[in-house]
Structure 1
């Protein structure tokens, strides 16, 4: 089993990569973060936290985000693949 610090580091890298994938899709659609949040039914700064890698999504929010970005949840996740640990 990997050390706790290694898991935390890999999790942070995954969240950052996911955020970058979401940001790339949002900008490709020409949406602002505020517009994306509105599409998801939020008034806050939800997408900003996702894009910065500071917000950990539930599966429900992953689905809402993908729908708002006019894509499949799998497409958002596959852009975040990391090599297996050595």
Structure 2
């Protein structure tokens, strides 16, 4: 998996979730297999331009939207739990291709950040 495929997959997933579609429904609309959609969203499938066009058409979006990675940080009007789950899955897909030392470094950094947040909250209480 490449970082590019992971980003494209995360963006497609974000657009799918925004539309309230399951992977199975998107696959049906795009006339593709749902396992293929899952692989694309995980970044483990090398998506063809033809399939990208089908998926984006099924999402009612211009194909260039799949390449707007900056929008991965945007949280849309979802319930808090759905937005949380969406962001967690995006983070997981970003970490998927990283080496174990890189993942451990990210883990330590996040843990240190949470420890700092917790200490700040304790001082303010």
After superposition, the C-alpha distances for 1:40-79 in whole angstroms (9 at most, x for unaligned) are 1124411100000011111111110110111011111232
Task: Give the Cα separation in 2 of the matches to 1:43 and 1:20.
Answer: 18
Runs of 4+ in 1 over 3 A off after TM superposition: none
Unpaired runs of 5+ residues, structure 1, are 1-10, 81-86
Q: Which has the higher helix share?
A: 2
How many residues end up aligned between the 2 structures?
70
Q: Which is higher, the Rg of structure 1 or of structure 2?
A: 2
The aligned counterpart of 2:85 is: none
The aligned counterpart of 1:30 is: 20
Unpaired runs of 5+ residues, structure 2, are 71-125
TM-score (normalizing by structure 1): 0.74
